[in-house]
Chains A and B, each alone.
Chain A
């Protein structure tokens, strides 16, 4: 007996359906079926994950997906979702798995922050007529100016990365997403003059040529890490935690460790790739410092080292430690950050909002006089150019975007990545699904998105009378809260609208 009624219903308009069977061919979940004798299509709602592949490809718009509307007896405490989860676990005995970011109804602080604009007493700037700088440089900043015997300034800049706009594509490993998705990000980064992150699965040989625009990641599983890999990118990231699942590691099932993924990760085909929860050689800031300097040593002190952590309760103190560890950049991943697979309870109940984490980390580092030791990257559901502008004003140097990248590729946030049958060719390694993501198309869509955001960032900066993104950084006077209590305003370091 199956206790669970399907969440979604595939609605087909029989007047529009021409039985071309595209839906049937494109659904990896085999939800659609052609009935030969009746010459009609039918669908099994229980197999539908609501990914909209069939809806998008149906040439006559005969399809749509709606909520099935089946309800249990109304209960303010026991929601239908909660009841179904219990049925599911009572049936399987397993941990619930989820993908992509936390979808639950927690406050989104970005949506409760408003930007300022110039009126009368200070001029706004028209970005179409006047130069507007969105370039950012990430890395430690020297605190003193050194001169040689002749009085010339000595270049004492630590290694850094330069980006044409304050955005990077966040870590999504080759394995969790397809080769085509990686190639699309790499090509888009190179054309845009920004960077993407390999994630913890190593770097495919074909993509080494985009090294200038690549951050190579070293995570607790150390998959695919070797000297050539470390030297292939422009920066190295140590992944201590991930916003979607702080405190736990990762698990890429053996079924996905095939061919090039096995070679790239340097593990046998078919073996599970298990990333431990902690780095087994890091139990303190001092241990972290050892890894930071091991990686610097391995790359001849030519590349900045990023330490990525999940936004958790104690994030400010942890960041303060990292800023003293020799790391050049701290990346903080908020609790809304995406994942290819995470236990549902971890994803939905662990961590804190990135807006609060960013504000308190930036403030703490300033208070301790070590803000220039590091640059700050924030991620964990940056959804638009407005989120970026607000994050920069709260103190970020740069933002990581992940889900938005996948959406540009065609992801419809069906949150079924862990099933491995992504109909959009993104979170899958099945060859006939992977080929659905043509990098030629996908990388252009990503470039379009970034160029659009860049225009919008310039418009918003211009409105505030600011012509350089660096002048906006940490400029919290440009922000006002709406509907926030005094505690929240204090943590965010902003005033309420009207103040």
Chain B
């Protein structure tokens, strides 16, 4: 299955991935109109310290702890992609507590949100200016 991998050697910490991610979650055509004046809640987040930076997002685990933790069955897995049915989410945030990568977060509506791979064309990958985020079958390809 294709996953998103990040190579910290090439991550510049520019945070464009965060903005392209947040933009992809809207259904607008123009990024300025979509994100102007809004505080974004991206599903990919840059972590940085001491000059090293890299993006973190959902690993799409084979045995996802978030799915195990979900009390309403809102989290499901299909073809390896872990998705959330927002209608079923009761905002108990147990998934947020159980995800070891911090890849699940509360959305503006209260239901949780996470990376769902943009229907196999991740906006963060397409928007990364330095090829630091790639979408591939194997991590070795980074």
Interface of A toward B, CB cutoff 8 Å? 15-18, 20-22, 25-26, 56-57, 59-60, 62, 431-432, 435-436, 438, 440-441
Contacts A18-B32, A59-B16 given; does A438 touch B51 at CB 8 Å: no
Contact across chains for B15 and A432 when beta carbons are under 8 A apart: no
| A97 shortest CB reach to chain B, Å | 28
Which residues of chain B come closer than 8 Å to A435, judged between CB atoms? 9-10, 12, 130
CA separation between A200 and B20, bound complex, in Å? 42
Contact of A432 among B16, B35, B51 (CB under 8 A): B51
Bound-state Cα–Cα, A165 to B117, Å: 43
Q: Verify if B102 is at the interface (C-beta below 8 Å from A).
A: no
B61 is an interface residue with CB less than 8 A from chain A: no
Q: Contact check: which of A16, A25, A62, A441 meets B14 at CB < 8 Å?
A: A25
Interface residues in B1-60 by Cβ distance below 8 A to A read 9-10, 12-16, 18-20, 23, 30-32, 35-38, 51
Seed contacts A18-B36, A441-B130; 18 additional CB < 8 Å A-B pairs: A15-B32, A17-B36, A18-B19, A18-B38, A20-B16, A21-B15, A22-B16, A25-B12, A25-B14, A56-B129, A57-B129, A60-B35, A62-B32, A432-B51, A435-B9, A435-B10, A436-B12, A436-B130
Complex Cα distance, B129 from A438, in Å, reads 10
List A contacts of B14 (CB < 8 A).
Answer: 22, 25-26, 57
B interface, over-half SS: loop
Which chain B residues lie closer than 8 Å to A25 at the CB level? Answer: 12-15
Q: Please measure, in the bound complex, the distance between the C-alpha atom of A18 and the C-alpha atom of B130, giving whole angstroms.
A: 21
| Number of inter-chain CB pairs below 8 Å | 61
Which residues of chain B have C-beta atoms less than 8 A from A436's C-beta?
12, 130
Report the bound CA distance from A398 to B14 in whole Å: 40
- The smallest C-beta distance from A42 to any residue of chain B, in angstroms, reads 17
Q: How far is the CA of A440 from the CA of B129 in the complex (A)?
A: 12
Q: CA separation between A16 and B14, bound complex, in Å?
A: 18
* A17 contacts across to B, CB distance below 8 A: 32, 36
CB-nearest residue of chain A to B12? A436
Q: List 13 A-B contacts (CB under 8 A).
A: A15-B32, A17-B32, A18-B31, A18-B35, A20-B15, A25-B15, A57-B14, A57-B16, A59-B20, A59-B127, A62-B32, A438-B130, A441-B130
Bound CA span A21–B37, Å: 13
Rounded to whole angstroms, the CA-CA distance of A18 and B32 in the bound complex is: 6
Specify the main secondary structure of chain A where it touches its partner.
Answer: loop
Q: Is B131 part of the contact surface with A, judged by Cβ < 8 Å?
A: yes
Contact B131 A440 (CB under 8 A): yes
A20 to B35, CA, bound (A): 9
Cα–Cα, bound, A93→B55 (Å) = 47
Within 8 A of A (CB), among B124-138: 127, 129-132
Residue of B nearest to A444 (CB): B131
Shortest beta-carbon distance from A153 to chain B in Å: 50
Residues of B within 8 A of A (CB): 9-10, 12-16, 18-20, 23, 30-32, 35-38, 51, 127, 129-132
Smallest distance from the beta carbon of B137 to chain A beta carbons, Å? Answer: 17
What is the bound-complex CA distance between A25 and B35, given in angstroms? 19
What is the CA–CA distance of A440 and B134 in the complex, to the nearest angstrom?
12
Minimum CB–CB distance for A40 against chain B, Å? 11
Q: Which chain B positions have C-beta within 8 A of A21?
A: 15
Please, which residues of chain A bring their CB within 8 A of the CB of B15? 20-22, 25
Contacts of A16 in B (CB 8 A): 32, 36
Contact A431 B10 (CB under 8 A): no
Given A22-B15, A432-B51, residue A60 in contact with residue B31 (CB < 8 A): yes
Residue of B nearest to A21 (CB): B15
Cα of A493 to Cα of B127 in the assembled complex, Å: 51
- Which residue on B lies nearest to A18, using beta carbons? B35
* A435, B12: Cα distance in complex, Å: 7
Residues in A neighbouring B13, C-beta threshold 8 A: 25
Give chain B nearest CB distance to A136 CB in angstroms.
33
Q: How far is the CA of A435 from the CA of B52 in the complex (A)?
A: 11
Please indicate the chain B residues that have their CB under 8 angstroms from the CB of A431 in the complex.
51
Instruction: List residues of chain A with CB within 8 A of the CB of B129.
Output: 56-57
Given contacts A57-B129, A438-B130, A440-B131, contact A26 B31 (CB under 8 A): no
CB-CB < 8 A to A60: which residues of B?
30-32, 35
Which chain B residue shows the least CB distance to A441?
B131
Chain A residues with CB below 8 A from B16, complex form: 20, 22, 57, 59
Given the known A-B contacts A18-B19, A18-B35, are A26 and B12 also in contact in the complex, defined by CB atoms under 8 Å? yes
Q: Is the CB of A438 within 8 A of B32?
A: no
Closest 8 CB pairs of A and B: A60-B32, A16-B32, A18-B35, A20-B19, A438-B10, A438-B131, A60-B31, A438-B130
In the complex, A347 Cα to B16 Cα: how many Å? 39
* Contact residues in A for B37 (Cβ distance below 8 Å): 18
Query: What CA separation (Å) do A432 and B8 show in the bound complex?
Result: 11
